[in-house]
Amino acid sequence: MLPAGITIVIGTLKIHRDPKYYKNPNVFEPDNFLPENAQGRHYYSYIPFSAGPRSCVGRKFALLKLKILLSTILRNYKVASAAPEEKFRLQADIILKRTDGFRIKIEPR
């Protein structure tokens, strides 16, 4: 039982990179989300939109919008980070972000 009034921080970054649920957790692997690979994985192992009765009502809309936006950008531009991922310093805010901003290089394909 949790005491009333306490604050709990859920480390989604750690959950989403847990090798127990994701092979090579630091590698971007969209195939992790193919139905055959997601099947049987713990219900709370992927929670960017929270989970349970108060989870995000805009989840499907947000994912569709993100896919359209990303595919439009990536079909037209090459995007690269100016710093390697190991150098990123992260800041947990309302969203997780880099302390020094998103320094990226964009050039037309």
- Does 17 show up as a binding residue in the annotation? no
SS3 for 71? helix
Are 50 and 8 a contacting pair, CB within 8 Å? Answer: no
Q: Which is nearer to ligand HEM, 25 or 48 (CB)?
A: 48
9-22: burial string, b at 16+ Cβ within 10 Å, e else? eeeeeebeeeeebb
Q: Which is nearer to ligand HEM, 83 or 92 (CB)?
A: 92
What is the nearest approach in angstroms of ligand HEM to the Cβ of residue 55?
A: 6
What is the nearest approach in angstroms of ligand HEM to the Cβ of residue 26?
A: 20
The residues of the shown chain that bind ligand HEM, judged by CB under 6 A, are: 48-50, 54-58, 61-62
How far apart are the two ends of the chain, measured CA to CA in Å? 55
Annotation: binding site for heme: 56
